[in-house]
Amino acid sequence: MRKSRFSEEQITSILAEARAGIPTPEICRKHGISSKTFYKWRMKYSGLAGSEVRRMKDLEATISRLERIVARQAVELEAAKEIIKGKW
């Protein structure tokens, strides 16, 4: 997945400009983004401050790590069951 050229703090500041009343097409031209990108950001980061976005990213990373651990344990458990059955 491609890394964004904008940090989460920059994205929240761009969205804050929109909440301040600046028209969306003007914001998109000013920052060099498409309106689709702007609306996607607004859907994802609506109402979040910079620190909240950072916390959300940390939580997503933790959840991802825990999901990998659970998947690895499920594979090991299945392998142990096969060994116990004697189909090894």
In the predicted structure, residue 5 carries a pLDDT above the cut 90: no
Q: In CATH, what number is assigned to the domain containing residue 31?
A: 1.10.10
Same domain, residue pair 42 and 56: no
Same domain, residue pair 36 and 68: no
What does pTM read for this prediction?
0.56
- Provide the pLDDT for residue 87: 63
Same domain, residue pair 23 and 36: yes
Contact between 27 and 14 under an 8 Å Cβ cutoff? The reply is yes
Same domain, residue pair 42 and 64: no
Same domain, residue pair 43 and 10: yes
* Mean pLDDT score across all residues of the chain: 87
The number of distinct structural domains making up the chain is 2
Contact between 76 and 84 under an 8 Å Cβ cutoff? The reply is no
Measured torsion, CA atoms of residues 56, 23, 19, 47, in degrees rounded to the nearest 10: -20
DSSP character at residue 3: P
What is the span of the domain harbouring residue 35?
1-48
In the predicted structure, residue 80 carries a pLDDT above the cut 80: yes
pLDDT higher for 83 or 67?
Answer: 67
